[in-house]
Amino acid sequence: MNLPITIPTFNLKKLPPQVRQLTALFYQMGYQFDNVNLPIMALMHRSFDSEHNYERLEFLGDALLGVIIAEALFLRYPDYNEGRLSRLRASLVREETLVIIAKQLNLSDYLILGVGERKGGGRQRASILADSVEALIGAIYLDSQNFDTVKACVLSWFEDLFEKVKEQKVLKDAKSRLQELLQAHQLALPRYEVTETIGNAPNQIFVVSCQVDIVFDNKTAKPIAPTQALVTAQGESRRIAEQRCAEAMLAKISDLLPPLR
């Protein structure tokens, strides 16, 4: 099948040995590639190859995923209004959900990383796992040149998650959840600050801190003179870094808060 773009041909001898075991991944995905170079590129991080990596496929896959999930929600829930459908879609396509998919597919076993990224824990890095899922979606679309084929694969991966997200009454983003939690305990809102930017656009990394003033009287369970909880996180944009900060802060303070009365 002729592809609409030119895909580089990779020398398997120069790639990590797990690349030669992709048949198991294809089985997990429910799709057999005609052009094996596409899934290889979808699993290749820029730390391994700055020119031929998953970033363009991720861009394509992100757009496809949004359309596939939006259509599925539209058809599944005919009584839901636009706002509720949008929140469900946001919950299903967010990084945390894509990491669940990546773990179902055992993607960490197949990632192609540079030495530094590999030693730095890149195989378990949420952003890389989520990006690879989107890149594989783009790869399936280019390989099959058929929207229905990629849609069938994606929906099979997400099947169990539709009901889980619905049962959770739509998971709100981390910043919203943190803000509501603090307000419920009569605490000041979190303060976010960009403390550092690493690299140059368009490959900048933003380092953001999140501060929360929190301490409670053990007898009254009411907030008293505050102490400070501080976390930091980084991301490819300020928004992503702030969301990761909020997730980290929720994990840090959740056990410190008394039960709501």
Catalytic status, residue 134 = yes
- Which candidate in 49, 51, 62, 173 is catalytic? 62
Is 58 annotated in a binding site? The answer is yes
Is 247 annotated in a binding site? The answer is no
3-state class (DSSP) for residue 161:
helix
Instruction: Give φ, ψ of 51 to 5 degrees.
Output: -100, -50
* Angstrom distance (rounded) from CA 162 to CA 71: 13
Is 131 annotated in a binding site? The answer is yes
In the block, residue with structure tokens 């303060």: 191
Q: How far is CA 9 from CA 15, 35, 39, in A?
A: 12, 9, 11
CA proximity to 138, closest of 23, 31, 11: 31
The residue count of the chain comes to 261
Catalytic status, residue 62 = yes
Q: Give the chain's end-to-end CA distance (angstroms, integer).
A: 64
- Which candidate in 117, 134, 143, 247 is catalytic? 134
Instruction: Give the residue numbers of the binding site for Mg(2+).
Output: 58, 131, 134
- Known catalytic residues are 62, 134
